[in-house]
Structure formats: C-alpha cells, structure tokens
Structure 1
Amino acid sequence: MAGVAYGTGRQALLEAAIRIVATQGLRGLTYRSVAAEAGVSHGSVRYHFGDWNTLVEEALAFCVERSVDGAELASDVPGFTEFATGIVSLVAADPDAQAFQYEITLEARRRPELLPAMERVNDVYRAAVHRELVRNGIDDYAFAELIFMTLDGLVFHQTAFGDDARTERAIKALRALLASYTAEHVRS
C-alpha cells in the first residue's frame, strides 16, 4: 500500500472512514473516499473489510474501544472523585471519533439496519458506566442508564461546541451528585 506503512493499513482505513463520516456524513463514505483519505488503493478497503457494512461496524468498534478507555470511567480510587476524568481530553483530542458515532446514530433513524450496531455500541458504554457504579455500591440499571445518557449528552455538547470548561464543570457537578446519591442510598 503506497503511503501507508506495512501492517498499519487497516487502522489507517478505519481512521479515514471516521474522518470522512465526521466531516461529510455517512453519505460521503465510499470505498474510493476512504482509500483516498488513507492514501491507498480502493481495492484495499474491500480487501480489509469485504463490504460497506463491515467497514462501518468495525469503525464503530474501533471508536468505542478508544472512547471507553479514554473516558476513564473506571478508577481504582473509592468513590467518584476520578469518574470520567478523561472525557474532556478524549473529545478535545479526537472530536471526529465522537462526531462519527453521532452521525451513525442519527443515520440509524433513516436506516434501521444500523440500529443493532448502535445498540451494541451504547450497550458497551452502558456496561462501563454500570461497572463503575457497582464498584461503588450502586447496582441500579436505571440509574446507570441515567448516568450514561448524561455523559453522552456532555460528550455530544463538547463535540458540537468545543467548550472544555463547561464540560469540566458539568462533570464536576455529576461527580458531586454521584457522591451525594451514594451517601444517601448506599449502606456500607
């Protein structure tokens, strides 16, 4: 593959797909556009992913893995003082990865075949939030859903508007709410 180091082509294609969808929407995602963005032949896209749906699903999985790790939802410290410490830097460092996921989510309204993939993505995020709540004594799926949706909204707003300070303030307030909820509802 010209211009891409051996062994990095698949990742370069995933990153190219993410950038294209983030900037042009899902309609801009073609084998040719991904190949051009990655600096490879368009046959490479088919070789690595086989079909368009697989490319989209694998790009989603790639984003989710990086996002869950980067958001730093889990902590070794008891309580919520470090909960979601990486969200602001995650979005600031790679807003395209978040925009990609939101573009796919919105497109799933028009293309129901994308809904199962987006539900799997959201299930990964929900599970990460739920694990951290359980670690702190809160085993409540409805509450975990509320926290997941709150974080999702914070990420969306930071992705769209780029206001790191506002997101930091909101996460700080969320941590305080979690600590208060824990003190009131969790018995040691």
Structure 2
Amino acid sequence: MARMPSAERRRQLTEAAIRAMARDGVSKTTTRSIAAEAGVSLSVFHYCFDSKQALVESVITTLTAHSVTVVKQALRPRATLVETVRAGFEAYWDHVRGHPDEHMLTYELTQYALREPGFEHLARRQYELYGDAYAELIGGLRDSMDLRLHVPVGTLARYLAAVTDGLTLNYLVLGDESAWSDILETVTAHIAGLARDEVEP
C-alpha cells in the first residue's frame, strides 16, 4: 500500500465513509466497512480516527464543504443582485439534484447525532457549520457588491440555513422538479430584498 500523508488519508476515509453511510445508513456503517470501502486496513482507519465521533464530525464537515464549494464558485458578482443570488441558489439546487444521497445523509446524521449518547454536540456542530458557511458567503458578497444588509449577517445566515434546509428536505420527500423554478424565483426575490446596493439613493 502506497504511503499517503495523514491528512490525505483522512480525506480518503471520510469520502469512503460518506459513500458507505449513504448506501447502508449511518447506524449500519462500521469502521470495518469504511476501511473496506477505502481499500485500507482497519489499523489505518484507527490511526486516522481515534473515535467514531471524530469520523462523524469529519463527514459532516466534508458534506457541508461539498455544497458550499459549488455555491462559492457560482456566487461571483453579476449585473444585478437578483442575478447573483439566483446563481448561488441554482448552483446549490443543482448539487441537491445531482447528489440527493449526500443531502439525505445530512438529515440522517442529524437524527443519529441527536439520538446517540455522546454525539449530541455533533448535531449542533453541523448546524453551526451551516451558519458559518452562509455568513462567509454573505460577507464576501456584501463586500464585493458593496451591499447594505437590512438584517445582521448572523441572522441572515441562520435564516438562509433554515430556508435551504427546509426546501431541500421538501424536495427529497416530494421530488417535484416542476415546482422548483417558481420556488427559486420566490426565494431569490425575497433574499435579494433583504439587501440593497450601497450606492443607491
């Protein structure tokens, strides 16, 4: 087996855990099955992660990064704020439609963490990560487009996390592709209305 830096090995094992958990469910995924998925020995797994809590936290962080990265890449300033916000939502929604198993896994991880003794803090950590990610995206957009927000960044970040969380679950349950276009327009207009260009009179 080729030697690999520990950080890279942790990433490999985390991605293997995401695949295994999405396929088999969180509670049925074992350290042995994750090691097998990654093609490494069990001892390598235990070298990289000293507890299941550490693994679950790495999975949560990585899943969040997957969707945040595509939004960040799409959220560059466009001609109008509405167009910019729409591009961010469209990128996120494309990720949901392209990777529904990952998004279903985020909800399963929340429930698992809330129910499993000693894991409760990871559910809180998961939603703190969402808030932090949105705050970073909002802050970057505010600075690049010289925006004045009508609500504090932290409040808007948590609100956006709640909105996308609810919309994502709604889609995963109902799977109504045809309704998304109108929903996107409604959400885009609403969120864009919570900010305005600093140079406007």
Q: Same fold (TM over 0.5)?
A: yes
* Residues 114 and 49 of structure 1, relative CA distance in 2, 3 Å threshold: same
Partner of 2:77: 76
User: What are structure 2's unaligned runs of at least 5 residues?
Assistant: none
Between 167-176 and 50-59, report the one with greater CA deviation: 167-176
* Residues 66 and 43 of structure 1, relative CA distance in 2, 3 Å threshold: same
2:168 & 2:28 partners in 1: Cα distance? 23
- Matched residue type, 1:33: S
Partner of 1:169: 182
Q: Report deviation, 1:86.
A: 0.9
Partner of 2:103: 98
- Matches of residues 113-124 of structure 1 in structure 2 within 5 Å? 113-124=118-129
- Matched residue type, 2:35: A
Q: How many residues align?
A: 184
* Residues 52 and 132 of structure 1, relative CA distance in 2, 3 Å threshold: closer
Compute the RMSD of aligned alpha carbons: 3.0
The 8 Å contact of residues 13 and 35 in structure 1, kept in 2 or not, is answered as: yes
User: What are structure 1's unaligned runs of at least 5 residues?
Assistant: none
Partner of 1:39: 39
Q: Percent identity?
A: 27
Between 33-42 and 92-101, report the one with greater CA deviation: 92-101
- Matched residue type, 2:190: L
- Matched residue type, 2:109: I
- Matches of residues 1-188 of structure 1 in structure 2 within 5 Å? 1=1, 9-72=9-72, 74-77=75-78, 79-83=81-85, 84-111=89-116, 113-133=118-138, 135=142, 136-138=147-149, 139-140=151-152, 141-182=154-195
* Residues 20 and 173 of structure 1, relative CA distance in 2, 3 Å threshold: same
- TM-score normalised by length of structure 1: 0.79
2:58 & 2:157 partners in 1: Cα distance? 26
Q: Report deviation, 1:151.
A: 0.8
* Residues 16 and 131 of structure 1, relative CA distance in 2, 3 Å threshold: closer
Q: Report deviation, 1:168.
A: 4.2
- Matched residue type, 1:154: L
* Residues 130 and 61 of structure 1, relative CA distance in 2, 3 Å threshold: closer
The 8 Å contact of residues 79 and 179 in structure 1, kept in 2 or not, is answered as: yes
1:133 & 1:149 partners in 2: Cα distance? 15
